[in-house]
Structure 1
Amino acid sequence: MAYREWTKSMRMLLWIGVLFTMASALSSAFVNVFLWKQTKSLVMLAIFNGLQYTMMPIVFFVSSRLYRIRRESYLRFGIFLHALFYGLVLWTGNRANPYWMGILLGMGAGFYWYGYNLLSLRLTESRARGEFGSWSGMLGSLATMVAPLVSGFTIASINALGYSIIFSLSLGFFASAFLVSQRLESIEETELPVPIFRRQHPNWNRVLLGNFFQGIREGVFVFFAAIMIMIATGSEWGLGKYTSINALLSSLSFFAVGKLLRWHRYNESMLIGSFLSSGAIALFLFEQDYKTITLYGIITSIFSPLFLVPFGARIYHVIDEAHERYEREYIVEREIVLNAGRVLSIASFISTYRFLSEEWIPPYLLLIGSMQILAVLILRNVGFRLKKMWEDA
């Protein structure tokens, strides 16, 4: 389905996602830098991110137990909590604590993504999901390309005041996303919740296991590369340029994958994307300087969409094929397993960093980065009625 054929709610959901991504991209990497400058501790950063990953599945589970709540309300409350987070960071300044920051941001992300995932399932048609995911990835990458340049330049030019300006801008974009969300179609939860992890669909356990390994891959890399760039350059402007270049390449790759990739090439695409993204981590075995980190970022940005687009499409199609009645439970189960992988990744990083010498860090990164390959091997045999669906489209 072309963009012009989408429903109004599909288009609104897309632009809410773009505004949310812009708000997050302005500040997310720099929140980690902001905390690192205060603590000079990778362990504290790992705890901050680990608390987010812990809170998200808890919020998903609690939300799924509620009844007679409109789905868009979860999304709006998540946006509100993000705005509250940056408001509190502006208010507390250098007194900001990684513990409450991680908990609050994790709760905001949990409510937002719970609502966004459910709305994506209900508001997007099966034959449009690949195109919707492509547009979301492309526009999200463009937002992620522009925002860090603005943030890096502002912070590097105005120093301490720059963080206040950027966090205030994020606040404004979250407010805009909240306003756009008022135009979404209202969808009320009318079904009573049922126990989780009771699904019998033959492909679902494979989906959960694949997400667990993907979570292990994602956990540490959310913040590690940004801090390595900051250490190597000593400048937020350097981090802004790094993030922007990677986002541009990622945007082009998402666009190409969305336009050119067909369902019968999903396995090959996922395998190529995971092998090259994981192989890029092997560069850290030799050097950990600016050039190495930049090359890693370029390779990952280009080839990750080859994995992410079919990976996401397969998950939603399995949920569709299994049973629409239990879509909340499927989403919650996936979130619990995905974040369990992320928390395990964070915990293993803290243990490696504290108890082993620094030369063990690159092999550790290569090990957890390779978990994405296991996700592909598990999901490559997942069977569902894609062929007929795409032929009908």
Structure 2
Amino acid sequence: MQKDQSKHFVQQGRAKEATKTNYFEDRGSGAVEVKGSQKKGRLDAQAILLLIVHTLFGSANALSGTFVGVYLWKAKNDYALIGWFTLTTHLTMALTFWLAGKWVKEHNKMNCLRLGVAVSAGFYMLVLWLGANSFHYFVWLGMVQGISAGLFWVAFNVVYFEVTDPDNRDRFNGWIGLLGSGAGIVAPWISGLLIVSLGDGAGYRLIFSISLGIFLLGVVISFFLKKRKVQGAYEWLFPLRCLRQAETPWKRVCLALVFQGVREGVFGFMIALLVYISTSSEASLGSFVLITSAVSLVSFWAAGRFIKPHFRKISMLIGAAMIVTVIIPFFWKMGYSTLLIFGIGASLFFPMYSVPMVSAVFDLIGSNEASAKQREEYIVLRELSLNVGRVCGVLLFICVISWSKAPLVINVLLLIIGSSPLVSWYFMKKQLTVIRT
């Protein structure tokens, strides 16, 4: 690995290097080169198929995943239990990423992706089978969910890297958010109505069964994705070797990813749970997700269309600052209205934070051919960093919630954890100014 991969990029205002140093310039296929009617920056058929698989995976999780925390909460009103379930998920996910890295590096990464979707289906089969006793097995359920997420995302991110390039990566990320928000508009709202109209038992069984079917459809669609070439041997200790190098942007980037994960680890389950606790209604939670997802749909579309590499730094700062600001109404009153203000605000500005972050990290992975050849190891490093942050965030949540459940304490905790994107931007800002021209 090069000592500082940012040296292989062109800084704003500087002349382009005479020699080609970017992996994508020599890549055999993709949207980087104009081929026939294929325009620069457009998504090809494989990228579109990958979007479809991702959308099915996201739709199934949106249909039922929003309500898993609520399902456990209704079985046993315990914040800490849900925290431990989430912690187990993230720890297992991190270990799965590290172990599955060898599979996607040396063997068939598409089978890894398919197995991830299939194990997700298995998770909901287990929940259906265990029923009201699920909370007794939260550790095992968390492990199954972590394995499914680890297998799917390590394969997805490698394939995502291979079917995109710096010219279309922001566009792809925008479509990911757009389609995910579209699924979020319909799926949780329908789930909430079904649970309320059919009752807890039949309602949850139905939505978990529908999710199972969607996951299986995702497996079928994934067979239309081409088998990707493999090369090289997997380096188990690559994350340590990379971070021990004196001059590498990955030290800053990994710290940024850790702080990104801190917020994700807690807000991923806590907001939905707070909405349910405030309303005691799955239908209200479904409506909340419908409204916030509709805002996200527009916001991700705009982010994918208008955020260009030279706007990434200011975009990420504005997004990070605003998703922290919208937490402040919690100190006035924790209720459905303030949660909705938060949800709309976060949905509006989160794409400004996340799209530049994701694109810049993957651009760094593809900054030169040597780096791109170790894309699997870099993606594992990225995900390990995110999961370190998620684990730290959830551990902080468990410690504080075990000490006090007072509303003020919870609000301060959410503000502290929710402010981590600003720290993430601080460590990421230098990399956001490194662009390819």
Classify the TM-score, shorter chain. over 0.9
- 1:236 is displaced (CA, Å) by 0.4
Q: Is the 8 A contact 1:318 1:384 kept in 2?
A: no
Q: Is the 8 A contact 2:265 2:391 kept in 1?
A: yes
- 1:333 is displaced (CA, Å) by 1.1
Q: Which structure: greater helix fraction?
A: 1
State the alpha-carbon separation in 1 of the partners of residues 83 and 262 from structure 2: 14
| TM-score, normalised relative to structure 1 | 0.95
**Equivalent in the alignment of 2:238:** 196
State the alpha-carbon separation in 2 of the partners of residues 308 and 28 from structure 1: 21
Letter in 1 for 2:305: K
Identify which of 270, 286, 294 aligns with 2:316.
Answer: 270
**Equivalent in the alignment of 1:154:** 194
Q: Is the 8 A contact 2:266 2:397 kept in 1?
A: yes
Identify which of 116, 124, 127 aligns with 1:86.
Answer: 124
- 1:7 is displaced (CA, Å) by 2.5
State the alpha-carbon separation in 1 of the partners of residues 300 and 377 from structure 2: 29
Letter in 1 for 2:238: I
State the alpha-carbon separation in 1 of the partners of residues 218 and 54 from structure 2: 8
1:181 aligns with 2:222: yes
Q: Is the 8 A contact 2:188 2:289 kept in 1?
A: yes
1:380 aligns with 2:380: no
Of 110-119 and 217-226, more deviation after overlay is shown by 217-226
- 1:320 is displaced (CA, Å) by 0.7
**Equivalent in the alignment of 2:278:** 232
State the alpha-carbon separation in 2 of the partners of residues 193 and 380 from structure 1: 30
- 1:286 is displaced (CA, Å) by 2.2
State the alpha-carbon separation in 2 of the partners of residues 165 and 105 from structure 1: 19
1:41-120 pair list within 5 angstroms: 41-66=78-103, 68-96=106-134, 97-120=137-160
- 1:189 is displaced (CA, Å) by 2.9
State the alpha-carbon separation in 2 of the partners of residues 386 and 95 from structure 1: 52
State the alpha-carbon separation in 2 of the partners of residues 236 and 288 from structure 1: 18
CA gap 1:94/1:230 in 2 versus in 1, 3 angstroms: same
SS across alignment from 2:251: helix
State the alpha-carbon separation in 1 of the partners of residues 106 and 257 from structure 2: 29
CA gap 1:109/1:357 in 2 versus in 1, 3 angstroms: closer
Letter in 1 for 2:401: Y
**Equivalent in the alignment of 1:214:** 260
- 1:279 is displaced (CA, Å) by 1.1
Letter in 1 for 2:227: S
Counting aligned pairs with the same residue, the percent is 33
Q: Is the 8 A contact 2:170 2:307 kept in 1?
A: no
1:122 aligns with 2:162: yes
State the alpha-carbon separation in 2 of the partners of residues 180 and 89 from structure 1: 25
1:26 aligns with 2:86: no
1:304 aligns with 2:350: yes
Number of matched pairs = 388
Identify which of 249, 253, 257 aligns with 2:295.
Answer: 249
CA gap 1:102/1:370 in 2 versus in 1, 3 angstroms: same
**Equivalent in the alignment of 2:15:** none
1:360 aligns with 2:416: no
CA gap 1:384/1:365 in 2 versus in 1, 3 angstroms: closer
**Equivalent in the alignment of 1:350:** 398
SS across alignment from 1:191: coil
State the alpha-carbon separation in 2 of the partners of residues 129 and 357 from structure 1: 42
**Equivalent in the alignment of 2:28:** none
State the alpha-carbon separation in 1 of the partners of residues 56 and 404 from structure 2: 41
Deviations 1:146-189 (A, max 9, x none): 10111000001001201011001101110111000001110143
State the alpha-carbon separation in 2 of the partners of residues 381 and 68 from structure 1: 33
The structure with the largest alpha-carbon Rg is 2
SS across alignment from 2:431: coil
Q: Is the 8 A contact 1:26 1:170 kept in 2?
A: yes
Deviations 1:189-224 (A, max 9, x none): 331112222224621111100000011111111111
Identify which of 171, 187, 205 aligns with 1:164.
Answer: 205
Letter in 2 for 1:373: L
Q: Is the 8 A contact 2:193 2:283 kept in 1?
A: yes
CA gap 1:365/1:321 in 2 versus in 1, 3 angstroms: same
Q: Is the 8 A contact 2:90 2:390 kept in 1?
A: yes
Q: Is the 8 A contact 1:203 1:383 kept in 2?
A: no
Identify which of 34, 53, 57 aligns with 1:16.
Answer: 53
State the alpha-carbon separation in 2 of the partners of residues 275 and 4 from structure 1: 29
Q: Is the 8 A contact 2:185 2:293 kept in 1?
A: yes
Q: Is the 8 A contact 1:81 1:107 kept in 2?
A: yes
Deviating beyond 4 angstroms after TM superposition, the runs of 4 or more aligned structure 1 residues are 1-5
Q: Is the 8 A contact 1:142 1:247 kept in 2?
A: yes
- 1:125 is displaced (CA, Å) by 2.7
Identify which of 253, 268, 284 aligns with 2:330.
Answer: 284
| TM-score, normalised relative to structure 2 | 0.86
